[in-house]
Amino acid sequence: MSKLQALKNFRFPNVFILILIVFISCALLICINFFTIKILSANRAYVNGESHYSKGQKDASRHLITYLFTKNPTQWKLYLEELKVPQGDGIARVTLLKAGDNKIARKGFLIGRNHEDDLDDIIWLFDNFKHVSFLSKAIDEWGQGDKLIFDLFVIGQQINAKIEHNILTAEDQKKYLKQISSISDRLTVNERNFSNTLGEGTRKIKDLLIITNIFFILVIVCSVCLYYSIMVKRLLVSKKEIEMKNENLITVNRELDRFVYSASHDLRSPITSLKGLIEITALEDDVEQVRNYLQMMHQSLARQDQFISDIIDYSKNKRKQIIIEPVSLKELCNEAILQLMHIENANRIKFTQELLVDHIESDGLRLKIIINNLLSNAIKYADCNKPEMLITIKTYFSEGQNKLEVTDNGIGIHDDYKANIFDMYFGTNKNKGSGLGLYIVKEAVENIRGDISVFSESSVGSKFIVTIPNSYAV
């Protein structure tokens, strides 16, 4: 009995240590979540403010252009009223940089149509994080935008002066219209960069919050579990030693079973395949057979690498913003061919390019994903039994649309599979692909508002035709 009492006295301090750990972890978790929510709330307020800034600038530009051609004084008043919105934000920015939180900065934000309840968070984030990379970059974009707003203000004053003195000419109207449009376009870029920078910072904060929450929750759960274990042991301390050991063994075995079950379902098949190959390779004396095993390992890793690459493409396709810019189809095709030459039998294939269309306006990232995946599929499913393996890439203009056509004389697609080839994780041969390629292609095509069609005959070959819009005007 004295030994049991001694055991209880020995465990007693550990209980309070665990409670202290739980208390500190909970306190830190609350503080971290509070400040993270405050930061995210401030970010949200900045994004909301940017929308008012952007709308005010665009409305001001619209009213100024209308005033330029109609000389209607009402349009001039509307222009000045809308221009106050970005000007107010600009005053707040300059004031915060020079003097910090004061009435002038708050008044500027209110003129910028920011909600009064958001001012504390906006100013707090500015004061405390203005030197942090993401906010510093956003403030820099903000400053560049304010300079353009000032330029727009100066142009407005020039236009008003000429209208009041009745000396505005048609040539002046063209000149000022061009200047206003140029400033508006540059402001749009600044505003987009501002929002993207804040969005990037918000995502980083969110990821950090998730990691921090997981860490502290694990600490709390482990501490509570350990506390529970100690308390159970205290209740069972009066029982025989063998019963305590058996009970602990049952508990440990149960937890071990759960772990093994979860692990066996979570681990990816290439890892299991590699493990098996390593084990049998260790027992093999035949050098040629060992080389075969190593080749199989390489193929397993290549499949895993392709799967990861597909996941990255999928993530980019989902996450990245659509950016319409000048794109060279010839460069994308040549780059894709060079990158895919490592695939088995790629060097045996004859590539033919008939590019009647090269430079177009579209999203370069999505087109790269589309071309890479279509060519990758054509190479993987080439028919090695044919005397000559062919892949033809064509671009042309038809029915007001740009067309991209990839044709091969590979193994083709069986009629039973054609309805499902664009489904996620669908693959006619899992050893050759992850089942994500054509699904990603389909989503990428939809993202650029295009269309894709397939014509295929088993043992003859396949043809994929991607329609790329020639114009993205709303």
Judged by average pLDDT, the poorest of 171-180, 198-207, 407-416 is: 198-207
Computed over every residue of the chain, the mean pLDDT equals: 80
- Angle CA 30–34–40, to nearest 5: 140
User: Highest mean pLDDT: which of 126-135, 170-179, 279-288?
Assistant: 170-179
Strand order in the sheet with 461-469: 349-355, 389-398, 401-408, 461-469, 451-457
Residue 444 pLDDT > 80, yes or no?
Answer: yes
pLDDT computed for residue 5 by the predictor: 46
What average pLDDT does range 128-135 have in this prediction? 80
Judged by average pLDDT, the poorest of 157-166, 221-230, 297-306, 452-461 is: 297-306
Q: Which residues pair with 403 in a beta bridge?
A: 396, 467
What average pLDDT does range 231-245 have in this prediction? 71
pLDDT computed for residue 258 by the predictor: 38
Q: Which among 222, 75, 94 has a CA at the least distance from the CA of 149?
A: 94
Residue 338 pLDDT > 50, yes or no?
Answer: yes
pLDDT computed for residue 293 by the predictor: 62
3-state DSSP percent of the chain in helix, strand and coil, to 5: 70, 10, 20
How confident is the model over 339-371, as pLDDT tens digits? Answer: 888 888 888 999 999 999 999 999 888 898 899
Dihedral sign (CA 382, 383, 384, 387): negative
pLDDT bracket for residue 391 (50, 70, 90): very high
pLDDT computed for residue 303 by the predictor: 58
pLDDT computed for residue 200 by the predictor: 81
pLDDT computed for residue 255 by the predictor: 37
How confident is the model over 24-53, as pLDDT tens digits? Answer: 888 887 887 787 787 778 878 888 888 888
Dihedral sign (CA 393, 396, 399, 402): positive
pLDDT bracket for residue 397 (50, 70, 90): very high
Residue 100 pLDDT > 50, yes or no?
Answer: yes
Residue 37 phi/psi, 5-degree rounding, is -65, -40
What average pLDDT does range 467-471 have in this prediction? 86
* Strand pairing report for 349-355 and 389-398: parallel
Residue 373 and residue 443: Cα distance in Å, rounded? Answer: 12
Residue 110 and residue 96: Cα distance in Å, rounded? Answer: 14
- Higher-confidence residue of 319 and 434: namely 319
pLDDT computed for residue 330 by the predictor: 92
Judged by average pLDDT, the poorest of 147-156, 276-285, 344-353, 451-460 is: 276-285
- Higher-confidence residue of 91 and 320: namely 91
Which pTM value belongs to this model? 0.42
Residue 23 pLDDT > 50, yes or no?
Answer: yes
Residue 468 and residue 373: Cα distance in Å, rounded? Answer: 16
pLDDT bracket for residue 238 (50, 70, 90): low
Residue 2 pLDDT > 50, yes or no?
Answer: no
pLDDT computed for residue 364 by the predictor: 87
Residue 389 and residue 383: Cα distance in Å, rounded? Answer: 7
Residue 382 and residue 410: Cα distance in Å, rounded? Answer: 4
Residue 135 pLDDT > 90, yes or no?
Answer: no
- Higher-confidence residue of 317 and 411: namely 411
The DSSP letter of residue 94 is H
How confident is the model over 270-305, as pLDDT tens digits? Answer: 566 666 667 777 777 777 777 776 766 766 666 556
pLDDT computed for residue 267 by the predictor: 40
List Cβ neighbours of 13 (8 Å cut-off, separation of 6 or more).
none
What average pLDDT does range 76-96 have in this prediction? 90
What average pLDDT does range 250-263 have in this prediction? 45
